[in-house]
Amino acid sequence: MNMIVHRMILFLFTLMLSACAFHEATSSDAETPRIIEIEALSHETPVGVPVGGAIATAMNPQDKDKLNHALDKAIGTQTIWMNGRRDVVYTVTPVRKVTISGNTLCRDYEIKSVRNQAQTSMHGTACVAADGAWSEVR
């Protein structure tokens, strides 16, 4: 009897943790996701289209990795880091969730770089591609 109770408690605990893992946090000031249907895009996001546009061309592999992780963060969460070797400060902010051609794993984002007091910024849209990495869609 005692073993059955322990197993039930363990099962319920596991179930509760699973529910937490799949629950998306929401924010009262987060925008409602928008749906975009773009016929030119296939149902799958192309693999290997780098995010970050012209700003990302100056990034080293570690910066690009940080950029990709920043897109995984909650909407409105800024990720800021400095590439000390190049004396560049990057800021990436996911702006809103979007759906493109049926892919719900897409986000509009803003990226800024500051180098020698000169700031460059751009907005982009990226989706998680078939390989699991973020890829630019426009």
Q: What is the pLDDT of residues 8-44, one digit of tens each?
A: 454 444 444 444 333 344 344 444 444 444 333 344 5
- Beta carbons within 10 angstroms of residue 81's beta carbon: 16
**Over residues 66-71, mean pLDDT:** 95
Residue 23 lies in a domain: no
Residue 55 lies in a domain: yes
| Distance between CA atoms of residues 37 and 99, nearest Å | 8
Residue 22 lies in a domain: no
- Beta carbons within 10 angstroms of residue 50's beta carbon: 16
| Distance between CA atoms of residues 11 and 63, nearest Å | 41
Look at residue 30 and give its three-state secondary structure.
coil
Boundaries of domain holding 41: 33-136
Residue 102 lies in a domain: yes
Residue 79 lies in a domain: yes
Residue 130 lies in a domain: yes
How high is the mean pLDDT of the chain?
76
How many domains are contained in the chain?
1
Q: Is pLDDT at 61 greater than 50 in this prediction?
A: yes
**Over residues 101-112, mean pLDDT:** 95
